[in-house]
A and B are shown apart, each in its own frame.
Chain A
Amino acid sequence: GAVVSQHPSRVICKSGTSVKIECRSLDFQATTMFWYRQFPKQSLMLMATSNEGSKATYEQGVEKDKFLINHASLTLSTLTVTSAHPEDSSFYICSAREGGNPGYTFGSGTRLTVV
């Protein structure tokens, strides 16, 4: 079945530094990937839609200069949290859909802690 690999699974960084999260579709091509953020006991909130070879589409209220998304190939999208602050601490998850599947495949998530 379709697999989406997300790395790292956990990262702790200092306030003011940048962190890159990778999301790879291992056995299918994904022209579109989605990035979500989830706070404890909250729903997954869509941050942006990542499109291969073009600019990402960001949801209202998500700072595109802070959350840089690059989708340079059909199997890789990256999310870089720039100048991270403690309030950026959250669970970040990517997803994509293989053409023949009814559901979306999610990565295992990245727990970001900014100290």
Chain B
Amino acid sequence: GENVEQHPSTLSVQEGDSAVIKCTYSDSASNYFPWYKQELGKRPQLIIDIRSNVGEKKDQRIAVTLNKTAKHFSLHITETQPEDSAVYFCARMDSSYKLIFGSGTRLLVRP
């Protein structure tokens, strides 16, 4: 179907530890997979994205991996800091350019 399943819904980590959020989808026509960060009371902002012809992408402490065969993709944040605390959303775009979001993960980084 259209949905993107996102897990976990909440994640609490100690500052300096890594955080991993995973999303799964079923539509094999999906070709673009972004991740958005939303701080409390603010609008969502793109932090990293990956296209279907790439398996991994990194940007400093953030990385995204994509397994097209298994239809899942993950966000990895290393050396977490308190300012990483926010809600993170994954999303997928299908061949009609429709962007469907997961339900979000609330990340808390404990100092």
Binding partners A and B: no
